[in-house]
Amino acid sequence: MNAFLETFFKPNLIAQYLPSILKGVIVTIEIALAVVVCGLLLGLLLAVVRSFQLKPVNALIVIFVDMFRALPPLVIVLIVYFGLPNVGISIPSFAVLWLVLTLVLAAFAEEIFWAGILSVPKGQWEAARSTGFGFLGTLGWIVLPQAVRLTVPPITNRTVAITKNTALGTVIGVPEILNQATSAQSFSGNATPLMMGAIAYLILFIPVVALGRFLETRFAWRRS
C-alpha cells in the first residue's frame, strides 16, 4: 500500500509539481475553449452552406469532412507542425494544435448538424414557406432550432472526445496538462505527476459531460 502511494501519490512531488500542472490546466482550457467555439461554429456554417445544395461546393465539403474524420488527429498535427515549415509556412505549436483540432471538430460537427437538418420533416419546410419565409428564414427560425436540439447528445460526445485530444499537444511541445505531467514524471522518475494530470483531466471534463446531459434534458421537448 505504501509503495502504491509512493508511486502514484507522493506528497512532496504533488506540492512540487502542482504549479506546473496548473499552468498546463490553463493552457488546456484555453485551447479547448477556442477549439469548441471555432469548431462548432465552423461545422454549423459548413452544414448551412451544404443545405444550399450547390454540387461543386458540396463535393468540397464532403471531401474535407471525410478526410478529417478519417485521419488520426495526431497524423494531421505532425504533418502540419513538422511538414509545413519545409514549404516556408511555420505555425507556432499552440496555433497548430488549435487549428487541427478545430478542423477535426468542424468536420464531425458538420456531419452531425447536416444529419440533424435532414431529419427535420419536409412538412416543416413547407409550412414555413407557405407563410412567406424564404429559404434562409426557414432554415434559421424553423429548421436549425429543431436540428440543433436533436444533435445535442452526439455533438456533446464528439466535442468531449475531440477536446481531450489537446493532449496531443505534448508531441509538439505545447505546455498543456499532459506535457507538464510527462516532463515532471521524467524529472522525478515517479508516476505521481501523471496521476495529477489524470485528476486534472477528470476535474475539467466531468463537468463538461454533466453539462451535456443537462443540455440534453433542457433542450428536449416532448415530441408529438
Partner 1 sequence: MVPDRPPILQVRGLHKSFGHTEVLRGIDLVVAPQELVFIIGPSGSGKSTLLRCCNRLEEPTAGVITLDGVDLMARSTDINAMRRKIGMVFQSFNLYPHMTALGNVTLALRKVVGRSRTDAERLGMEALERVGLSAKARSYPSELSGGQQQRVAIARALALEPSVMLFDEPTSALDPELVGSVLAVMRELKRAGMTMLVVSHEMRFARDAADRVIFMDHGLIVEEGPPAQMFGAPKGERAKAFIAELTR
**Residue in 52, 82, 141, 187 binding partner 1, rule: CB under 8 A:** 141
CB of 125 to partner 1, least distance (A): 9
CB of 148 to partner 1, least distance (A): 10
**Residue in 41, 58, 99, 137 binding partner 1, rule: CB under 8 A:** 137
- Contact between 129 and partner 1 by CB under 8 A: the answer reads yes
- For residues 110 and 51, what is the distance between their CA atoms, to the nearest angstrom? 11
Q: Could you tell me which stretch among 21-29, 135-143, 181-189, 205-213 binds partner 1 (CB under 8 A)? A: 135-143
CB of 219 to partner 1, least distance (A): 9
Q: Could you tell me which stretch among 33-41, 160-168, 195-203, 215-223 binds partner 1 (CB under 8 A)? A: 215-223
- For residues 149 and 119, what is the distance between their CA atoms, to the nearest angstrom? 11
- Contact between 221 and partner 1 by CB under 8 A: the answer reads yes
- Contact between 127 and partner 1 by CB under 8 A: the answer reads yes
Nearer to partner 1, 80 or 128 (CB): 128
**Residue in 84, 119, 126, 214 binding partner 1, rule: CB under 8 A:** 126
DSSP string, the chain: -HHHHHHH--HHHHHHHHHHHHHHHHHHHHHHHHHHHHHHHHHHHHHHHHTT--HHHHHHHHHHHHHHHHS-HHHHHHIIIIIGGGGT----HHHHHHHHHHHHHHHHHHHHHHHHHHHS-HHHHHHHHHTT--HHHHIIIIIHHHHHHHHHHHHHHHHHHHHGGGGGGGGGT--SHHHHHHHHHHHHTSSHHHHHHHHHHHHHHHHHHHHHHHHHHHH-----
Nearer to partner 1, 146 or 182 (CB): 146
Environment class of 153 (CB within 10 Å of its CB; exposed 0-12, middle 13-18, buried 19+): middle
Considering only residues 106 to 125 of the shown chain, the ones binding partner 1 according to CB under 8 A are: 121, 123-124
For residues 75 and 137, the answer to whether their CB atoms sit within 8 Å is: no
- Contact between 145 and partner 1 by CB under 8 A: the answer reads yes
Considering only residues 60 to 99 of the shown chain, the ones binding partner 1 according to CB under 8 A are: none
**Residue in 37, 131, 161, 202 binding partner 1, rule: CB under 8 A:** 131
CB of 121 to partner 1, least distance (A): 8
The site for partner 1 (CB under 8 A) is made up of 121, 123-124, 126-134, 137, 141-142, 145-146, 149, 221-224
